[in-house]
């Protein structure tokens, strides 16, 4: 039925990822089992550290996309389970490396792995999980899947490097920012969904449709994440309050506020995000400037644009539970900002 939720309306059904969770529940249990089995190593610190992050949960959104896409494509084999675990391993490896790069102390509402075991172990266990992911793909044996996921890994790294460069650069514009989030977030969503169609051996058009679904969902997801970092909803994420501000990350709410601001405001953004000279009250002032220029709401508008593309990308597929579940994920990603 591919329902498009009207956000302007009141009294509407609240979107959630429960539809997808229920759809893929049995498969996801097997993915979790595959993950646990494959993070084992004679070097005990590896399952210990990896388990800390993996057990902490997270939504398993990316592997669920692989499973959901496979369901949408009517796939009835076994390969999607192992490949969904690959996707989660790549994601976990990038989280471990991200937390080192960001010097984060919290992840998923608990102490981050680097805070507990140090940066060095986080780098190396990330490398291990990344390698293990390729071992699993090799066992699967599909060159096409390896092409998709190895390209995704390279693009993720490019996106992260690009983000490192744009961090603290208040001149960053919206398109440079979009390139960053395409790489660091959306590409893996795209690959995760595409792999579901590839194992089902669906026509190229359907593979591309799912890739586009994942890519646009991922962009919307990251835009909303960046809004939440400045909004009252952020405690729900289990993230530090105002993390992005503190690190001088240039996200869309900032980019719009900088461009819409006057000289004094730009001086404020330069001092706080470029020079990282931050004082008490600065975060509140940043939020006030965003409110003044309506940049959180407008960033959400941008997110809704990509969400709409993601929904339409599924137009090729027959209506049914699987399609509805994937549409609900899009709606949920945007609605969680409210």
- Residues forming contacts to a copy of itself in the complex (CB under 8 A) are 41-43, 45-46, 93-94, 97, 100-101, 119-121, 123-128, 130-132, 134-135, 137-139, 141, 143, 146-147, 150-151, 153-154, 156-158, 160-162, 164-165
CB atoms within 10 A of CB 142: 16
Q: Which residues of 90-118 are buried (b: 16+ CB within 10 A; e: fewer)?
A: bbbbbbbbbbbbbebeebbeeebbbbebe
Q: How far is the CB of 133 from a copy of itself (least distance, A)?
A: 8
Q: Measured between alpha carbons, how far is 43 from 132 in angstroms, rounded to an integer?
A: 14
Work out whether the CA dihedral 297, 107, 163, 214 comes out positive or negative: negative
Q: How far is the CB of 125 from a copy of itself (least distance, A)?
A: 6
C-beta of 101 vs 252, nearer to a copy of itself: 101
Q: How far is the CB of 218 from a copy of itself (least distance, A)?
A: 18
Residue with tokens 């993915």: 31
CB atoms within 10 A of CB 216: 25
C-beta of 45 vs 291, nearer to a copy of itself: 45
C-beta of 3 vs 123, nearer to a copy of itself: 123
C-beta of 121 vs 227, nearer to a copy of itself: 121
Q: How far is the CB of 183 from a copy of itself (least distance, A)?
A: 9
Q: Mind giving me the DSSP string for 149-210? A: HHHHHHHHHHHHHHHHHHTT-TT--HHHHHHHHIIIIIHHHHHHHHHHHHHTT--HHHHHHH
Q: How far is the CB of 148 from a copy of itself (least distance, A)?
A: 9
C-beta of 154 vs 288, nearer to a copy of itself: 154
Cα–Cα nearest to 161, from 187, 183, 128: 183
Cα 302 from chain centroid (whole Å): 16
**Lookup: tokens for 67:** 């499973």
Q: How far is the CB of 44 from a copy of itself (least distance, A)?
A: 8
Q: How far is the CB of 100 from a copy of itself (least distance, A)?
A: 6
């Amino acid at each position: 039925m591919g329902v498009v939720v009207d956000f302007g309306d009141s009294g509407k059904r609240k979107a959630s990822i429960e539809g997808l969770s229920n759809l893929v529940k049995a498969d996801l249990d097997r993915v979790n089992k595959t993950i646990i089995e494959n993070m084992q190593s004679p070097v005990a610190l590896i399952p210990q550290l990896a388990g800390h992050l993996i057990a902490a949960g997270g939504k398993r959104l990316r592997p669920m996309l692989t499973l959901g896409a496979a369901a949408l494509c009517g796939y009835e084999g076994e390969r999607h389970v192992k490949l969904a675990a690959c996707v989660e391993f790549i994601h976990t490896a990038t989280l471990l490396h991200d937390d080192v790069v960001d010097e984060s102390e919290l992840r998923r509402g608990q102490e981050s792995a680097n805070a507990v075991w140090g940066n060095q172990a986080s780098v190396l266990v990330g490398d291990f999980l990344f390698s293990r992911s390729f071992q699993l793909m090799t066992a699967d044996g599909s060159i096409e899947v390896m092409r998709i996921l190895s390209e995704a890994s390279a693009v993720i790294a490019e996106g992260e490097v690009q983000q490192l460069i744009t961090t603290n650069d208040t001149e960053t514009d919206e398109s440079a920012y979009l390139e960053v989030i395409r790489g660091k977030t959306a590409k893996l969503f795209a690959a995760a969904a595409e792999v579901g169609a590839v194992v089902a051996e669906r026509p190229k058009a359907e593979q591309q449709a799912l890739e586009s679904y994942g890519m646009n969902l991922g962009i919307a997801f990251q835009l909303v994440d960046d809004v939440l970092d400045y909004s009252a909803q952020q405690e729900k994420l289990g993230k530090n309050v105002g993390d992005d501000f503190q690190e001088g990350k240039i996200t869309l709410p900032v980019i719009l506020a900088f461009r819409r601001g006057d000289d004094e405001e730009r001086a404020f953004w330069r001092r706080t995000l470029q020079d990282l000279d931050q004082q008490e009250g600065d975060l509140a002032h940043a939020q006030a400037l965003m409110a003044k220029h309506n940049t959180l709401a407008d960033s959400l508008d941008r997110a809704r644009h990509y969400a709409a593309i993601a929904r339409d990308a599924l137009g090729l597929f027959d209506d049914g539970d699987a399609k509805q579940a994937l549409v609900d994920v899009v709606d949920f990603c945007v609605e969680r900002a409210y």
